[in-house]
């Protein structure tokens, strides 16, 4: 395997979850642990531009495929926050990563927030919410469960694999030793390909909708007071949800016991793809502060 950005070579590992086998991408590093969680219908390879930079900075860095995603097993149940939290607890224990800094992107931020609230201050050294964790779906104006399911349903697609992978051109990585190769790897890990070379989403529609239901039912604002560790909020400021996010971010910053905000202006939702080096720098700075 050729070195990725920053020169690190990851080890792909199988670790236990709550009755499922999860895939973890272990980038090594000898320092304090950092665990990276991807978003809904994503996979751990979205962190391939960030994780090696964290490992190079000395952090023990591991990205995990949550159940149903990437190379992890996909049961037909268990996509509520309680079960996904037990998955994470089992993986953390198996990896021997006591009291990590936990970074979650999008839905992964909601998972990380719930985990930190449920497990208390002894379990998490710091929490980084990367354009996720602070959006309360049920609080959107006029939102109902039915509307949430309609708006957050995944697109159904069946396209040639080459066409799917061509999307990597949307996220050029100038100066990266790996070029856009890791972005293609991220895209490839999110689909299944049939004998005719047609790509379809790996995460099944029915399971995706279980996550949507869990997001609708979750109330992040009720969890903030239960989070005992420092929190770094990292919202994107230039996508179609920016106006919804700003009051939500303000509320989170006000109600979380120890929080600060770094806006990624001129950046859309997928910050790990669009701004990996800048994101890695913010995460490294935060991890140094809370573990130093």
Q: What is the pLDDT of residues 3-13, one digit of tens each?
A: 344 456 899 99
Confidence at residue 6, expressed as pLDDT on a 0 to 100 scale: 46
Residue with tokens 């991408």: 25
Q: Which helix (H) or strand (E) holds 171?
A: none
pLDDT band at 244 (very low <50, low <70, confident <90, very high): confident
Asked if pLDDT for residue 280 goes beyond 70, the answer is yes
By the 10 Å C-beta count (0-12 exposed, 13-18 middle, 19+ buried), 7 is classed as exposed
Quick one: which H or E segment has residue 67? Answer: none
Res. 275: pLDDT tops 70: yes
Taking alpha carbons only, the member of 65, 69, 70, 75 closest to residue 15 is 65
Q: Given this structure, which CATH class describes domain 5-140+206-291?
A: alpha beta
Please state, in angstroms and rounded to a whole number, the distance separating the CA atoms of residues 197 and 199.
6
Sheet with 191-193: list strands edge to edge. Answer: 159-160, 198-201, 191-193
Q: Work out the average pLDDT over 179-203.
A: 93
Q: Parallel, antiparallel, or unpaired for β 101-105 and 33-37?
A: parallel
DSSP string, 141-170: TT--HHHHHHHSPPPP--EEHHHHHGGGGG
Q: Is the pLDDT of residue 73 over 50?
A: yes
Query: Band of the pLDDT at 243, cuts 50, 70, 90?
Result: confident
Distance CA 3, CA 48 (A): 11
Share of the chain above pLDDT 90, in %: 85
Give the CA distances from residue 259 to residues 65, 120, 254, in Å, rounded to whole numbers and listed in that order: 27, 16, 8
Q: What is the per-residue pLDDT for 194? A: 97
* Rounded distance between C-alpha atoms, residue 108 and residue 129, angstroms: 8
* Residue 180 pLDDT greater than 80, yes or no: no
For residues 192 and 204, the answer to whether their CB atoms sit within 8 Å is no
Query: 3 or 16: whose pLDDT is higher?
Result: 16
Q: What is the pLDDT of residue 178?
A: 46
Identify the band that residue 84 occupies on the pLDDT scale cut at 50, 70 and 90.
Answer: very high
Closest CA to 255 of 227, 234, 283: 227
What is the residue-averaged pLDDT of the chain? 93
Burial class (CB in 10 A: 0-12, 13-18, 19+), 42: buried
**Contact at 8 Å (CB) between 177 and 264?**
no
Q: At what angle do helices 81-95 and 107-119 cross, to 10 degrees?
A: 80
137-148 pLDDT, tens digit each? 999 889 999 999
Q: Quick one: pLDDT at residue 2?
A: 33
DSSP 8-state class, residue 8: -
5 close to 57: Cβ distance less than 8 angstroms? no
Give the mean pLDDT of 149-155.
95
Least confident of 119-133, 176-190, 207-221: 176-190
The pLDDT, as a whole number, for residue 80 is: 98
Question: What's the pLDDT score for residue 5?
Answer: 43
Do β-strands 21-26 and 11-16 pair in parallel, antiparallel, or remain unpaired?
Answer: antiparallel
**What's the pLDDT at 3?**
35
- DSSP letter, residue 264: B
- pLDDT at residue 179, rounded to an integer: 52
Q: What is the pLDDT of residue 172?
A: 67
Q: Which residues pair with residue 126 across a beta bridge? A: 101
Rounded alpha-carbon distances, angstroms, from residue 100 to 35, 156, 219: 7, 36, 24
Lowest mean pLDDT among 25-29, 158-162, 219-223, 236-240: 236-240
Q: Which helix (H) or strand (E) holds 11?
A: strand 11-16
Which pairing describes strands 126-130 and 159-160: parallel, antiparallel, or unpaired? unpaired
Q: Is the pLDDT of residue 291 over 90?
A: yes
Which residue did the predictor score with more confidence, 177 or 17? 17
């Amino acid at each position: 395997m050729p070195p990725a950005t920053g020169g690190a070579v990851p080890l792909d590992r199988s670790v236990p979850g709550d009755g499922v086998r999860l895939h973890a991408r272990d980038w090594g590093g000898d320092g304090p642990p950092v665990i990276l969680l991807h978003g809904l219908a994503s996979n751990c390879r979205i962190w391939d531009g960030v994780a090696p930079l964290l490992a190079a900075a000395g952090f023990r860095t591991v990205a995990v495929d949550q159940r149903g995603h990437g190379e992890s097993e996909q049961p037909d149940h268990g996509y509520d926050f309680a079960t996904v939290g037990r998955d994470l607890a089992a993986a953390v224990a198996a990896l021997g990563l006591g009291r990590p800094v936990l970074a979650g992107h999008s839905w992964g931020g909601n998972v990380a927030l719930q985990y930190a609230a449920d497990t208390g201050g002894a379990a998490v050294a710091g929490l980084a919410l990367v354009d996720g964790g602070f959006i309360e779906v049920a609080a959107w104006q006029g939102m109902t469960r039915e509307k949430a399911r309609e708006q957050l349903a995944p697109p159904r697609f069946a396209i040639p694999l080459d066409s799917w992978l061509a999307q990597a051109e949307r996220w050029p990585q100038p100066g990266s030793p790996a070029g856009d190769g890791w972005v293609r790897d991220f895209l490839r890990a999110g689909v299944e390909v049939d004998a005719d070379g047609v790509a379809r989403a790996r995460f099944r529609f029915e399971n995706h909708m279980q996550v949507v239901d869990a997001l609708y039912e979750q109330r992040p604002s009720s969890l903030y007071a239960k989070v005992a560790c420092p929190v770094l909020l990292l919202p994107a400021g230039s996508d179609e949800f920016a106006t919804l996010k700003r009051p939500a971010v303000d509320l989170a910053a006000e109600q979380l016991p120890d929080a600060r905000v770094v806006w990624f202006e001129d950046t859309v939702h997928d910050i790990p793809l669009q701004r990996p080096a800048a994101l890695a720098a913010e995460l490294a700075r935060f991890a140094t502060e809370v573990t130093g």
